[in-house]
Each structure stands twice: as C-alpha cells, then as structure tokens.
C-alpha cells in the first residue's frame, strides 16, 4: 500500500513517536523511509553570519535525532535516508513530498515550536492541508 514514507523530525516527543510509527509501517508494507528535519532560518537576517549561525545550530540539534532513527532502522534491517533542509518547515516538507514521490507522511501532531502554533497554525495542520498524499498524525 505505501512504498515511500516520510517522517519529519523536530525535537518534540511527538516527532519521536511518529518516527517509531513510521518504522512499524515501513516494516509492515516493506516501504522505504525518508526522515528529514527542517531548520528554520531567520526571515530577515541582519547579516549573512546570522543565517550561517542558524544553519549550524540547527544541524547540531537535528543530526543526533536523525542518526538515532537511522540506527534504529539499521537494527531492524532498514536503510533510512536522512536529510537536513532549510527554510519554512511546512513548505519544505511539502516540496520534499512532491520531489521524492512520497505516498505517506507520518508526522507528530504537535511539534516543538510551542504556543506560536496556536496563533499561526501548526506545521502538521499545514502539511495535512497541502500534502498531495496521505498524512498520518501521531498524537500523544
């Protein structure tokens, strides 16, 4: 049923739970797993250095999470493709879905950006609204 699964990871517990669900689904359907993290960059960076700092900081935050998932996949016989992207999380996730023929996104219901989501709409809800494939929301 599903051949190519995407799990977007941030620093939230829901994202980690979504990663485990994605791994179970991949085993069941013998699907490929792609895991991405998206580093938000300053919209109006004061300097080029500010953008570079955000990239480095984001890479340091997310690299461990992606490596942990890759190790879990390897332990059960799966190769998990991981990548760190930059920009607006929802936009980058949707572009990744389109460019990589993803047929299922497994995403945590609430991410790590806190109360800001209440006012602006969460990344998960934007992915649900705009993804051209099925989306599984993983809740607590």
Question: Residue 86 above 50 pLDDT?
Answer: yes
Question: What average pLDDT does range 73-83 have in this prediction?
Answer: 93
Percentage of the chain modeled with pLDDT above 90: 70
Q: What is the pLDDT of residue 132?
A: 97
Phi, psi of 56 (to 5 degrees): -65, -45
What pLDDT sits at residue 87? 92
- Predicted pLDDT of residue 101: 96
In the sheet that 80-86 helps form, which strands lie side by side, from edge to edge? 80-86, 32-39, 4-8, 104-108, 134-138
Residue 119 has pLDDT above 80, yes or no: no
Give the pLDDT of residue 113.
52
Alpha carbons 113 and 133: distance in angstroms, whole number:
24
- Average pLDDT (29-40) is 95
Mean pLDDT value across residues 17-42: 94
Rounded distance between C-alpha atoms, residue 75 and residue 55, angstroms: 30
The conformation of residue 77, written as its DSSP 8-state character, comes to T
**Burial, 29: exposed, middle or buried (Cβ in 10 Å; 0-12, 13-18, 19+)?**
middle
Residue 81: closest CA among 121, 36, 17? 36
Q: What is the CATH number of the domain that holds 63?
A: 3.40.50.620
Percent of the chain past pLDDT 70, that is, above it, reads 90
- pLDDT over threshold 70, residue 29: yes
Task: Write the pLDDT tens digit of every residue in 91-106.
Answer: 999 999 999 999 999 9
What integer is the mean pLDDT of 35-59?
A: 85
Instruction: Please give the helix or strand (H or E) that residue 53 lies within, else none.
Output: helix 48-75
Domain span at residue 42 reads: 4-138
Number of folded domains in the chain? 1
- The span from the CA of 54 to the CA of 23, in Å, is 29
pLDDT at 67 over 90: yes
Q: Length of the chain in residues, anyone?
A: 140
């Amino acid at each position: 049923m599903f051949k190519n699964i995407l799990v977007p990871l941030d620093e939230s517990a829901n994202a980690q739970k979504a990663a485990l669900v994605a791994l179970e689904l991949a085993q069941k359907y013998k699907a490929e797993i792609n895991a991405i993290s998206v580093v938000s960059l300053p919209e109006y960076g004061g300097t080029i250095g500010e953008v570079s700092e955000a990239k480095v900081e984001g890479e340091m935050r997310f690299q461990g999470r992606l490596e942990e998932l890759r190790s879990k996949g390897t332990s059960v016989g799966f190769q998990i493709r991981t990548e760190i992207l930059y920009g607006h999380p929802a936009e980058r996730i949707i572009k990744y879905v389109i460019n990589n023929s993803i047929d299922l996104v497994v995403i945590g219901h609430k991410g790590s950006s806190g109360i800001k989501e209440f006012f602006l709409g969460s990344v998960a809800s934007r992915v649900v609204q705009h993804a051209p494939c099925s989306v599984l929301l993983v809740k607590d």
